[in-house]
A and B are shown apart, each in its own frame.
Chain A
Amino acid sequence: MRVSLKRLFRKIEEINRRYRTPRIAMSRGGRAALEFLRLYLLFLVCLMVYKFILLVN
């Protein structure tokens, strides 16, 4: 189990290294807009999970 986990983490590190530099250049504004969209969508998902819990209870 420990060996498998180590191997998995090593693989993830390797993937992170391989894709460290994005091939498509993005402006700072573009990156900020994408980050905002990501956070906003996560916020909406959290709201929906909250509604789900309300309905279940």
Chain B
Amino acid sequence: MNVFSKLYYKLRKMWKAIQLYLVIAGPGIVVMVADNDAGGITTYAATGAKYGYHLIWFLLLLIPVAYYVQEMTVRLGAVTKRGLAEAIFDGFGATWGWFALVDLMLVNWLTLVTEFIGMTAALHIFGVPPWLTVTAVVLLMAIIVLNGRYWTWEKIALLFCALNLIYIPAAFMIHPSVSDIVKHGLIPNFPGGFNGQLFFFLMANIGTTIAPWMLFFQQSAVVDKGMQEKDIPWGKFDTLLGSALTVGVAIFIVIVTGTTLNGTDIASAGQAAEHLMQTDRYVGAFMAIGLFDAGLLGAICISLASSWAFGEIFGWAHSLNQNIKQAPWFYASYFFALITSGLVVLIPGAPLVLITLFVQVIAVTLLPAALVFLILLLNDPRTMGDYRNSGWQNLIGGFIVAAIVALSSLYGISIMFPNLFQ
């Protein structure tokens, strides 16, 4: 009897912990899965098609990288109750603040363009014209956002996150060789040696796993959700789970294209889906549905990251818990970014695929600037108290910044001296 009562007590405790997590869960998972946006899916699909399974080990390395970067925003948001944009202005003054805000606006807008590129390409496979996709997406996002509650918005976003897992059954349907994945994918190697193209792909993969908008988005979401210091452990767990999920999905995409399109130079995830349709129409359809979902989820989050940051700095009401009358500028900036980026996709002859890949690379190049501010803010004992960065956390953060700057520099050198790495 004693054993049963102990077991019952333990199970109840565990169930309560799960219930508590479900209340806190959200920002970490949403930001991480939304990170597998249309640009991300395109990057992973192109990586698999170009290098097969050879860069899976590199993607695995990105789990701790994404976790360590994003968990800092959870602590900063929960302790200061303010978004990253406002924290940078307050901590480093207006000049640095404007730099950070302009960077964010520019990269977010460009990334939003890539989301629309992905969504229009995905639905084009099913015969939907781009203008219709853009219009329908803007309307759908208006309905999602204008319901006036952060919680409702978050639950809808989590539903789209679940749809992002569609690549997992897709990978099983094509029966990849597990031994090949282990043999080629898990042992660190640089396929084709060091060259500009490899640097470009490595950077694009980093850029799609951690991006400036994610820092700003998660911190603002933590604040909008009302998380407290006591919620930090759950917020960290949420972020860890999200990091594993985002990289897990990325690996499954690489497996799909690495198995079926290995050695093919594909230009976009849409093109990959079209190729896959010819070999297995269900896998191709899954790829297209996943691409649309990824674009939509990315667009929902990225446009919000910009509006939150603007609201924080300009002192406008900036919460999803406020309606359009209470926060007109918040929603105006949201729809302005959304509509203008959607219109870019409709420009005839625009190099949409090239834009998608370059946006990832530019995003990662600008990431260290925001990351350095984040690390410095996390080291302020007056604000952070017991939650400030430890020596190890600073070391890891510093290493990530140095690695990104080094990789960006190598790519820059390969642009200036194209023959150097051949």
Contact = CB atoms under 8 A, between A and B. Distances in A.
A45 to B, nearest CB: 5
Contact of B416 (A11, A20, A47, A49): A47
A52 B92 contact: no
Contacts of A26: 92
B380 interface: yes
B146 to A, nearest CB: 24
Interface stretch (B126-134, B232-240, B363-371): B363-371
A55 interface: yes
Contact of A52 (B93, B94, B97, B358): B358
Contacts of A5: none
Contacts of B372: 34, 37
Interface in B376-422: 376-377, 380, 405, 408-409, 411-412, 415-416
B415 A24 contact: no
B93 A44 contact: no
Given A55-B354, A56-B351, A38 B99 contact: yes
A3 B97 CA distance: 25
Interface residues of A, number: 27
Given A21-B93, A52-B358, A47 B369 contact: no
B361 interface: yes
A46 B63 CA distance: 30
B412 A37 contact: no
A21 B354 CA distance: 42
A30 B404 CA distance: 20
B37 to A, nearest CB: 20
Contact of A45 (B97, B362, B416): B362
Interface in A7-53: 11, 15-16, 18-24, 26, 34, 37-38, 40-41, 43-45, 47-52
Contacts of A37: 368-369, 372, 405
B97 A19 contact: yes
Nearest to A14: B315
Q: Is the interface on chain B under 10, 10 to 19, 20 to 34, or 35 or more residues?
A: 20 to 34
Contacts of B368: 37, 41
B415 A51 contact: yes
A48 B91 contact: no
Contacts of A34: 96, 372
A40 to B, nearest CB: 8
B90 interface: yes
B91 A24 contact: yes
Contacts of A47: 412, 415-416
Interface in B316-374: 351, 354, 358, 361-362, 365-366, 368-369, 372
Contact of B94 (A19, A23, A50): A19
Nearest to A46: B412
Contacts of B408: 41, 44
